[in-house]
A and B are shown apart, each in its own frame.
Chain A
Amino acid sequence: MTALMHTWFMTVRHLRALMRQPWWIAISLVQPITYLLLYGQVFSRIVELPGFHAPNYVTYVTPGIVIMMALFGGGWNGMGIIAEIDRGVMDRFLVAPVSRAAIIAGRLVQMSIITVVQAAMMLGLGWVLGARFEGGFTGLAVLMLCAVLVALPFGALSNAMALVIRRQESVIGASNFILLPMTFLSPVFMAPTLMPRWVQRVSLVNPVAWSVETARSALSAHADWRLIGTRLVWLAALGLASAWLAARAFRSYQKSI
C-alpha cells in the first residue's frame, strides 16, 4: 500500500518535471511524426513486394514505430536516475522512509504513461496518413500493451545498467549499441519473410520482434490469439527478470554509498 502510494508520488514528480521542459515535449512530438512521415514515405513501395500482407505501408509500419519508440523510451530511462544520483536527490530519498521499490517503479510508471500517450498520438497520425486496422479496439489495446511490455523490461535494464555504471556517457554508448540493432533485427520495418534467414532466426529471440508481431497480429482481421498469448507471456516473463536485475543493481548502489 505504502509502496503503491509512494510509486504514484514519484510518478507525478517525474511527469511534472517533464511537463516543465518545453524542448522535451517538442522533441517527443516531432520525433515520432518525423519517423512516421519519413519511413512511411521512403519505404512506401516495399508493400508491393510479394510477402507483404498489408493494404499499405503506413498500416504496416505504424505499430512497428510505436514499438520502436517504446523500446527507445525504455532504453534511455536510466539516464534520469544517474542525474538524480549526481544531484543528491537519490540519497535524499534514501534517508527518508521512502519505499525503495517506488524509486524505480515511479520512473517506470511514468515511462509507461508517456509510452501510451505517444502511441495514441502516432496511431492518430497514422490514421490520417491512411493506416487502417481491422483489429478494432481490442487490437489497439493489445498494441498499447505490447508497447508497455517492451518499454518496461528495457526501462528496468536501463536503470539497472545506470545504477551499476553510473556514468551517462557509458550508458549512452551501451544504449546506442543495443537499441538500433534490436530494432533492425526485428520486423519493425520489413516483413519477416523478406528478411535474410539469419535475421529471421535472431528475431525469434528478440523481444522487439515478439512485441511487433503480437501487435500486428492483434491489429489484423484474423488475430492469432495463441501467438498473442504466448508472446505476451514471454514479454511479461522478461519484465519480471529485468525487475529482479534492477532490484539487484539498486542494492549494489546502496552498498556503494
Chain B
Amino acid sequence: MKELAIEARDLVKTYPGNVRALDELSFAVAGGTIFGLLGPNGAGKSTTVKVLNTLTRPDSGVARVGGLDVIRQPDAVRHAIGSVAQRSGVDVNASGRENLTLQGRFHGLGGAELKTRVASLLDRFLLTPAADREARTYSGGMQRKLDVAMGLIHRPRVLFLDEPTTGLDPEARSDLWKEITRLAHDDGITVLLTTHYLEEADRLAHRLAIVDRGRVVAEGTPDALKGELSGDAVQIELSETPGDSAVAALLSSVRTVHDVTVTGSTVRARADHGGSAVPAMITALEAGGARVSSVRVTRPSLDDVYLRHTGRTFNEADQA
C-alpha cells in the first residue's frame, strides 16, 4: 500500500443542541486514489471534510492530511490541500479569471506563472470563453467547474470534493466525473469525495466508507463491499400482509434465504440463487396469509450494502 494521504482516527464533533455530527469516525486513504465517503443527508460527511480541511476543530480525535496534523499545523495543511465545499465558494461578483487569480495569490503565486496557470485551468475546464464574465452569469455546472479549478490552482496533493455533483444536470455530472477520474489517474492527486449518490460512489471511488450517524459502518472497495453480501437481492411487494414479524417468521422456513427485512408491504431478503428461491418464498408467504403483488431479483448494489449495515434503505435515511 502507498503512503497514507489522509488519516482520520476517532473523530468526534458535537454541535450545540447535542448533535453528535461525528461519533468516533475513522478511515484512511492511500495516496493517489479516489476515496468516497458515502452517506445520506446528515450522516456527517461535510463535517468530516470540514475537520480535515481545517475549517473546524474536532472535539477529540486525530487527523492527518499529507502527513500534517490538521489541528497542530493548520496553515501547512491549507497550503497542501484544495477544497471544494458542498455549496459553491465562487465570488459571483468577480469573473472566473479574477476568482482564480485571487485564489492563486493567497497561495503565494504571482506574476507570469500565475497568469499561465490560470489560463491553463480555464482551458482545462472549458471556461475560457466565459473567463472574463462575472461568475453570476455562469450556469450551475460552470460554477462548479470554477470551484474545482480554484481548488487546484496551487497544485495541491490532496483535493476534497464535498458532494461535487449535487444539483448538476446529468451532462454536467458526467463531465465532472471524467475530470475527477483524470485528477487521480493523470495528476496523482488524492481525492476525497463525499456523495449521497450510490452510483457516483460506485463509479468513481477506488475505496469507500459508508458513513451513518457520524460513524463509518463499512469500508472497502465497492466490489468487495457488494461481494460481502452473498447472493442476490430479492424484493417482494405485498398487497396483503399479516404483519412485519409474521412475514419474517414465514420466510425463516425457507432455508436458502437470509438477511430478511420487512417494512410494511415491502420485503427485502438475500438469496444465494435468487431465481430458484423465489418460488419457495412465494409459497411460504401465500400459505401464511400474505398476498404477493410483485417480485424483483437484482445483483447486489451499494444500496443493499447500506441496508445490511444500517438496517435502513438509503432513500429512507436520506429523506429522514
Residue ranges of A at the interface with B (Cβ–Cβ < 8 Å): 5-6, 9, 13, 16-17, 20, 84, 87-89, 91-98, 254, 257
Chain B proximity of A5: nearest CB distance (Å): 8
Cα distance A224–B98 in the bound complex, in angstroms: 48
CB pair A89–B106 under 8 Å, yes or no, is no
CB pair B85–A88 under 8 Å, yes or no, is yes
Identify B89's interface contact among A6, A9, A91, CB under 8 A: A91
Identify A20's interface contact among B93, B106, B150, CB under 8 A: B93
Known: A16-B98, A257-B55, A257-B56. A96 touches B134 (CB 8 A): no
- What residues of chain A lie closer than 8 Å to B83, measured between beta carbons? 95
B54 within 8 A of partner (CB):
yes
B128 within 8 A of partner (CB):
no
Known: A87-B88, A91-B85, A92-B150. A97 touches B78 (CB 8 A): yes
Chain A proximity of B170: nearest CB distance (Å): 24
Cα distance A50–B81 in the bound complex, in angstroms: 69
- What residues of chain B lie closer than 8 Å to A84, measured between beta carbons? 91
A-B pairs with lowest CB-CB distance, top 3 = A92-B89, A17-B93, A97-B78
CB pair B91–A96 under 8 Å, yes or no, is no
What 1/0 flags go to B51-79 for Cβ under 8 Å of A? Answer: 00111100000000000000000010011
CB pair A92–B107 under 8 Å, yes or no, is no
Which of chain A's residues has its CB closest to B75's CB? A97
CB pair A17–B50 under 8 Å, yes or no, is no
In chain B, positions 1-59 with a C-beta closer than 8 Å to chain A are 50, 53-56
CB pair B105–A13 under 8 Å, yes or no, is no
Most A Cβ at <10 Å: residue of B83, B87, B102: B102
- What residues of chain B lie closer than 8 Å to A20, measured between beta carbons? 93, 134
Cα distance A94–B75 in the bound complex, in angstroms: 10
- What residues of chain B lie closer than 8 Å to A5, measured between beta carbons? 105
CB pair B50–A257 under 8 Å, yes or no, is yes
Cα distance A16–B87 in the bound complex, in angstroms: 24
Cα distance A87–B94 in the bound complex, in angstroms: 13
- What residues of chain B lie closer than 8 Å to A89, measured between beta carbons? 89-91
Known: A88-B88, A88-B89. A93 touches B106 (CB 8 A): yes
Identify B53's interface contact among A6, A93, A95, CB under 8 A: A95
Which of chain B's residues has its CB closest to A21's CB? B93
Q: List 12 A-B pairs, Cβ < 8 Å.
A: A16-B94, A17-B94, A87-B89, A87-B91, A88-B85, A88-B89, A89-B89, A89-B91, A91-B55, A91-B89, A97-B106, A257-B56
Cα distance A122–B92 in the bound complex, in angstroms: 32
Cα distance A63–B172 in the bound complex, in angstroms: 56
Cα distance A6–B75 in the bound complex, in angstroms: 15
Chain B proximity of A28: nearest CB distance (Å): 16
Cα distance A96–B83 in the bound complex, in angstroms: 8
Chain B proximity of A194: nearest CB distance (Å): 45
Chain A proximity of B213: nearest CB distance (Å): 21
Interface residues of A, dominant DSSP: helix
Cα distance A257–B134 in the bound complex, in angstroms: 28
- What residues of chain B lie closer than 8 Å to A13, measured between beta carbons? 91, 94, 98, 102
Chain B proximity of A86: nearest CB distance (Å): 9
B103 within 8 A of partner (CB):
yes
Chain B proximity of A69: nearest CB distance (Å): 23
- What residues of chain A lie closer than 8 Å to B106, measured between beta carbons? 6, 9, 93, 96-98
Cα distance A5–B110 in the bound complex, in angstroms: 12
- What residues of chain A lie closer than 8 Å to B93, measured between beta carbons? 16-17, 20
Which of chain B's residues has its CB closest to A98's CB? B106
Cα distance A242–B176 in the bound complex, in angstroms: 45
Cα distance A84–B103 in the bound complex, in angstroms: 15
Identify A87's interface contact among B56, B81, B92, B103, CB under 8 A: B92
CB pair B55–A94 under 8 Å, yes or no, is yes
- What residues of chain A lie closer than 8 Å to B56, measured between beta carbons? 254, 257
Cα distance A20–B95 in the bound complex, in angstroms: 11
- What residues of chain B lie closer than 8 Å to A93, measured between beta carbons? 106
- What residues of chain B lie closer than 8 Å to A16, measured between beta carbons? 93-94, 98
Chain A proximity of B115: nearest CB distance (Å): 16
- What residues of chain A lie closer than 8 Å to B108, measured between beta carbons? 97
- What residues of chain A lie closer than 8 Å to B54, measured between beta carbons? 94-95
- What residues of chain A lie closer than 8 Å to B79, measured between beta carbons? 97
Cα distance A112–B107 in the bound complex, in angstroms: 27
- What residues of chain A lie closer than 8 Å to B78, measured between beta carbons? 95-97
Identify A9's interface contact among B75, B88, B90, B105, CB under 8 A: B105
Chain B proximity of A128: nearest CB distance (Å): 34
Which of chain B's residues has its CB closest to A96's CB? B106
Chain B proximity of A101: nearest CB distance (Å): 13
- What residues of chain A lie closer than 8 Å to B75, measured between beta carbons? 97
Chain A proximity of B230: nearest CB distance (Å): 43
CB pair B103–A96 under 8 Å, yes or no, is yes
Cα distance A13–B105 in the bound complex, in angstroms: 12
Chain B proximity of A152: nearest CB distance (Å): 23
What 1/0 flags go to B160-186 for Cβ under 8 Å of A? Answer: 000000000000000000000000000
